Chains A and B, each alone.
Chain A
Amino acid sequence: MKGPGRMLQLILESILKKPSTVSYPKFKEAPLKSLRGAIAFIPENCIGCKICMKDCPAGAIIITKIGEKVFQAEIDLSKCIYCAQCVDSCPKKALEYTTQFELAALDKNKLKVTTSGKLQTTTQNETPKSE
């Protein structure tokens, strides 16, 4: 039957029901496990082949050698497009994706995450991760 206001019933029902949306900062849904979030670097596994640098579509990852068989990765999360191709390309599983997705920052430089391996002579040389 044709007529105006055919959605009336559904709307009256949904006024009484719980809404579908949530007020974001107050309530959060847990991210899915399969989500490709920020990339994490595991320095112990890295062999410095730099295939990830070559394959990265955004040029967001830079691997540098800082000692004998010790490497440092600088991942620019503001450039990263979260495709996780580097994770696929890495032959030694030195990169992995996390489910971290809330990466907004006011300062672009805060999105540069540098992770470096332990040098044998000095102590840990890890800069703190940004929020």
Chain B
Amino acid sequence: MGQAIYNILVFPGLFFLILFGWAAEFIDRKIYARGQKRVGPPWYQPVADFIKLAAKEDIVPEEASATSFKLMPLIAMASAVTAFFYIPLWTTEALFSFYGDIIVVMYLLTIPTLTFFLGGWYSRSLYSTIGAMRTLTQLFAYEVPLFVVILASALLANTWSLSEITKFYALHPHLWIFNLLGFGIGIIALLGKLEKGPFDIPEAETEIVAGSFTEYGGRLLAFFRLTLDIEVIVGASLLAAVFLPFGLNLTPAIGFVIYIIKVLFIVILLAVLRTILARFRIDQMLDFCWRYLAPLAFIQILINLLVKGLLLR
């Protein structure tokens, strides 16, 4: 019992996630800045931002429904953290696992996006409402390709459990190469999920101020931002577990280092992508996701079916 609480709250749970999330945010911002020839923030900037926001007064709009408005950041964070426990990190064994947890993780990762929508919707502000609508529209665009490519990987492993998937790839160490297309699609979909880079449409500053978060401030905004930081880690860990399953059977210390490198690699990839691309328009984003991303994801399924039929007989 004590061990479980330690795992949930400290390592590899909440505390580790928050620290790693801040570190990832710093790396993301630093790379973004250096790519633009700027000096960039100092290493403590994410922490300083959090403290500054947390020290400020919470302001709830008069017309917003106060309970839902205040509850949303907490729900978002709780679900993002919960999803993390089902993802195998540096061993083939996740903290908790059961048959079918892959579906649970995917849905837990959808909840933060839904809370962004509901938070914006309950704010009753015009910009928030438009941001909320965009969040939801965008969700429908990237969610299908993301689901399909992760399921394609699961299909190859013939299981519905994330831990089982990593075990399978540990046994067949070269099969992950066939999933590279899926990995690319996953990265692009993750950009949409995290509302970053070319897909920061729901919070496009020059159009709708801050989208869903326009009315948020103080501690509530601090929690939303922390959720986004945590989501980066959870999303990257998920992609790393599903698509980059190597270095899992080593000693925990080396495995841990490899895991950190894998996540940071994905974080850096996301940062570079958001540096080199201009923001899409919402219709272009939908178009792109349904016309290119979704068919490519189905091709991934096809590849995996062929591999399964020909190589794993």
A and B part of one assembly: yes
B35 touches A15 (CB 8 A): yes
Give bound CA distance, A4 to B273, whole Å: 10
Chain B residues near A8 (CB-CB < 8 A): 272, 276
- Give B272's nearest chain A residue, CB to CB: A11
Chain A residues near B273 (CB-CB < 8 A): 5
Chain B residues near A4 (CB-CB < 8 A): 276-277
Chain B residues near A19 (CB-CB < 8 A): 33-34, 37-40
Chain A residues near B272 (CB-CB < 8 A): 8, 11-12
Interface presence of A23 (CB below 8 A): yes
Selected contact of A21 from candidates B31, B37, B275, B276, CB within 8 Å: B37
Chain A nearest CB, measured from B198 CB (Å) = 8
- Give B276's nearest chain A residue, CB to CB: A5
Q: How many residues of A contact B (CB 8 A)?
A: 15
Interface presence of B36 (CB below 8 A): yes
Interface SS, B side = helix
Chain A nearest CB, measured from B32 CB (Å) = 10
Interface presence of A7 (CB below 8 A): yes
B35 touches A11 (CB 8 A): yes
Q: Mark A3-38, 1 if CB is under 8 A from B, else 0.
A: 011111001101101011111000000000000000
A-B contact count (CB 8 A): 38
B39 touches A22 (CB 8 A): yes
- Give A4's nearest chain B residue, CB to CB: B277
Given A5-B277, A8-B276, check contact A15 B39 (CB 8 Å). Answer: no
Chain B nearest CB, measured from A90 CB (Å) = 42
Chain A residues near B39 (CB-CB < 8 A): 19, 21-23
Q: Mark B81-95, 1 if CB is under 8 A from A, else 0.
A: 000000000000000
Chain B residues near A20 (CB-CB < 8 A): 37-38
11 A-B contact pairs sorted by A residue (CB < 8 Å): A4-B276, A4-B277, A5-B273, A5-B276, A11-B275, A11-B276, A12-B35, A14-B35, A15-B34, A19-B39, A19-B40
Interface SS, A side = loop
B276 touches A14 (CB 8 A): no
- Give A20's nearest chain B residue, CB to CB: B37
Chain A residues with a Cβ under 8 A of chain B: 4-8, 11-12, 14-15, 17, 19-23
- Give B273's nearest chain A residue, CB to CB: A5
Chain A residues near B36 (CB-CB < 8 A): 11, 14
- Starting from the known contacts A4-B277, A17-B37, A21-B39, 8 additional A-B residue pairs (CB-CB under 8 Å) come to A5-B276, A7-B275, A11-B35, A12-B35, A14-B37, A15-B35, A20-B38, A22-B39
7 closest A-B pairs (Cβ-Cβ)? A11-B35, A20-B37, A5-B276, A15-B34, A19-B39, A14-B37, A21-B39
Give bound CA distance, A7 to B277, whole Å: 8
Give bound CA distance, A11 to B38, whole Å: 11
Give bound CA distance, A14 to B32, whole Å: 11
Give bound CA distance, A97 to B9, whole Å: 63
Chain B nearest CB, measured from A118 CB (Å) = 48
Chain A residues near B33 (CB-CB < 8 A): 19
Give bound CA distance, A21 to B37, whole Å: 7
B 29-79 contacts with A by CB, 8 A: 31, 33-40
- Give A18's nearest chain B residue, CB to CB: B37
B276 touches A7 (CB 8 A): yes
Chain B nearest CB, measured from A6 CB (Å) = 8
Q: Mark B252-291, 1 if CB is under 8 A from A, else 0.
A: 0000000000000000000011011100000000000000
Chain B residues near A22 (CB-CB < 8 A): 39
Chain A nearest CB, measured from B265 CB (Å) = 15
Chain A residues near B277 (CB-CB < 8 A): 4-5
Chain B residues near A21 (CB-CB < 8 A): 37-39
Chain A nearest CB, measured from B275 CB (Å) = 5
Give bound CA distance, A7 to B274, whole Å: 11
B 20-35 contacts with A by CB, 8 A: 31, 33-35
Give bound CA distance, A116 to B83, whole Å: 74
Give bound CA distance, A4 to B31, whole Å: 19
- Give B33's nearest chain A residue, CB to CB: A19
